[in-house]
A and B are shown apart, each in its own frame.
Chain A
């Protein structure tokens, strides 16, 4: 229905020429793909760092008692701030601001600041996911661990976190799909990744097929991750049911 409706619009033939020029699609695929490698690099590096920093932030927020209040407060302010500010603003501020400081040891690379921005923002998001996982583990697990003479840290490391992390794998991967897409925002700094390359091609040839190429590449990357998420969720459910039947 929708397809029929669209193909019968008055502008359809122009639209088709603009977006579905298969010759251009084939010609530009190589060039945009090589630009896309930069997206893959950015998100791979960012993801590896975020996995660690977000967990650290979540652990900070879960520290009990008045002694750790300053650390907890700091973690909360951090999470609130970086979840509140649009990612694109963080990228623009760091990417244009930091190199402008003209300090020798501060990297000038915009790719570097793009990655830093993504890490800062997504650490805030992902730490919330981890935190939900930590809080979902029943306090009796910690009591059992502590009753064996394990310290608080040991209980966290050997008993709480392994269970918490397993529980949040699906939402964790979900956030990483978001991260993959948000690498395109680094294009605002003029970094030639897939989106920026597409824009260059589009304005040179006034043809939107390049957008389609970029979209295909992003989808090709996120679909396997989405299926992996589904598979992990299904496997977890199977295991638990097997446990219940036994």
Chain B
């Protein structure tokens, strides 16, 4: 059974068609990177999978269950899918610990003690144990993004969606966040990652998909996509990245 199946997904904001028929399958423990220019639909695809955006056509199946069907309990679906945002979106009025325990306590119904134990374990694992009582504003961007990842992991999702999680970070803070994601990949977490970090995508991905104007134009193993892309658009995109000194 695939961890995620996306079939013919269309998404439009008013007249603007952002996704024009996306087909994508993720096996369990697979790490897939979505690359492509800004506006190609990477973030929108992730938000659709997490049902944060309704789709106009197509099916989304997570772990064998069609989540895009009518009458599906969206809250239940989202508990199985973690998402981490570009801008962290931590809750500024809650401490790091409370940011992480909110989901387990309110959505999963864990007791405070259970939720705190789970959060404490995760925070220690990612080097954030001493920050548990800090407020998000007091943390560096890298620390905030690691907390956001821990917050998503606290629900023990089967699938993790990462939406350009390093794009809002200062360059020197990118590495600590990528390190966390690498560790998760080694641990077998199924992940769909929208990213501009090509070097990272090459290292961590089992498969890379190039999105262009709402379609997956090309996909394949990272060695092939980065070394010998077939499509002209992919070549142009990668050339621009190389020219910018980012690959």
Contacts and interface: CB of A to CB of B under 8 A. Distances in A.
Interface stretch (B14-22, B76-84, B238-246): B76-84
A198 to B, nearest CB: 45
B50 interface: yes
A246 B134 CA distance: 11
10 contacts: A145-B102, A147-B78, A147-B82, A147-B83, A148-B107, A148-B152, A148-B155, A150-B75, A151-B75, A243-B137
A140 B91 CA distance: 10
Contacts of B83: 147
Interface of B: 47, 50, 52, 74-76, 78-79, 81-83, 85, 87, 89-93, 102-103, 106-108, 135, 137-139, 151-152, 155
Given A143-B52, A246-B137, A150 B106 contact: yes
A149 B79 contact: yes
A143 B103 CA distance: 13
Contacts of B76: 149
Contacts of B92: 163
Contacts of B108: 149
A228 to B, nearest CB: 21
A140 B102 contact: no
Given A148-B107, A149-B108, A158-B102, A143 B137 contact: no
Instruction: Indicate the member of A145, A146, A148 with the most B CB atoms within 10 Å.
Output: A148
A150 B102 contact: yes
Contacts of A163: 91-93
Contacts of B81: 147
Contacts of B74: 146
Contacts of A246: 137-139
Interface string A139-172: 0110111111111001000110011001000000
B155 A159 contact: no
B155 A149 contact: yes
Contacts of A140: 85, 87, 89
Nearest to B80: A149
A144 to B, nearest CB: 4
B107 A149 contact: yes
B97 to A, nearest CB: 14
Contact of A243 (B52, B82, B91, B138): B138
Chain A interface secondary structure, helix, strand, loop or mixed?
Answer: helix
A246 B140 CA distance: 8
Of the listed residues A140, A149, A163, A246, the one surrounded by the most CB atoms of chain B closer than 10 A to its CB is: A149
A169 to B, nearest CB: 13
Contact of B137 (A146, A151, A240): A240
Given A148-B155, A151-B75, A243-B138, A141 B107 contact: no
A244 interface: yes
B144 to A, nearest CB: 11
Contacts of B138: 242-243, 246
A141 B91 contact: yes
**Closest 7 A/B residue pairs (Cβ):** A243-B137, A149-B107, A148-B103, A144-B89, A149-B79, A149-B78, A246-B138
Nearest to B92: A163
A154 B137 contact: no
A70 B90 CA distance: 34
Interface string A209-246: 00000000000000000000000000000001011101
Given A143-B52, A246-B138, A148 B102 contact: yes
B52 to A, nearest CB: 5
Contacts of A158: 102, 106
Chain B CB count within 10 A is highest, among A141, A144, A158, for A144
A145 B155 CA distance: 12
Interface string A177-190: 00000000000000
B100 to A, nearest CB: 10
Contacts of B78: 146-149
Nearest to B108: A149
Contact of A146 (B52, B82, B93): B52
Contact of B107 (A143, A150, A159, A162): A150
Nearest to B138: A246
Given A143-B89, A144-B85, A149 B135 contact: no
B106 to A, nearest CB: 5
B102 A147 contact: no
